[in-house]
Amino acid sequence: MEKIEKQKCPFCLKDTLTLTEDEQDIPYFGKIFIFSMNCSNCHYQKSDIESAEMKDPSRHTFEMETKKDLNVRVVKSSTATVKVPTLKMSMEPGPASEGFVTNIEGLLQRFKRIIEDERDNTDEDDVRKAAKNLLKKLWKAELGEQKIKIVIEDPAGNSAIISEKTKVEKIKAK
């Protein structure tokens, strides 16, 4: 792992930013580079993932059917859109989008945190009720009692759901 410390943070402008680059080999996906920036002063952080080899724009569709599927590996770059059509939820790419390596359980936990924040920070009863219903569905999915479909579309081809059950399609770059 390569690490460069005491860089200028783009937000607080202090020399407290650490840049890291790590190389990993993900089985059935290949070599990836993980880049991250972390500021010890203002706690700004950003990370991304790039495949070492050029890949075509792709869509990965995975149907989670059992509790065992929570262990399926997920690689998501900052250019990817993650959708859970069953629950009408998505993570869109953009300036705040992060790249990460996790599993289906970790991906669902990210959605769960977003929904919990929305539930806890709203004054609207209908928003709170909708959030509670989504959290209940996520909980059932984590128990393996509700099937959910997960779709990752990446115009850069740097993302994947690594399972023999995953349907992979080439898509046109936007």
pLDDT tens figures, 54-101 = 889 999 999 999 999 999 999 999 999 999 998 899 999 887 889 999
92 shares its domain with 34:
no
Give Cα 101 to chain centroid, integer Å: 7
Q: Check if the beta carbon of residue 98 is closer than 8 Å to that of residue 47.
A: yes
CA-nearest of 24, 73, 74, 72 to 51 is 24
137 shares its domain with 62:
yes
Please identify every stretch of the chain with a pLDDT value under 70, giving residue numbers as ranges: 174
| Whole-prediction pTM | 0.86
30 shares its domain with 92:
no
CA distance 106 to 64: 13
Question: For the chain, what is the domain count?
Answer: 2
Quote the DSSP letter at residue 62.
Answer: E
Six token digits for residue 171: 């898509």
61 shares its domain with 41:
no
69 shares its domain with 153:
yes
58 shares its domain with 23:
no
Q: Per DSSP, which regions of 8-134 are E strands?
A: 17-26, 30-39, 45-51, 58-64, 73-76, 81-84, 89-91, 100-103
CA distance 160 to 155: 12
CA distance 17 to 52: 25
| Domain-ending residue, one of 53, 75, 92 | 53
- CATH at residue 97: 2.60.120.1040
77 shares its domain with 154:
yes
Structural domain harbouring 35: 1-53
110 shares its domain with 59:
yes
Note the pLDDT of residue 28: 78
156 shares its domain with 87:
yes
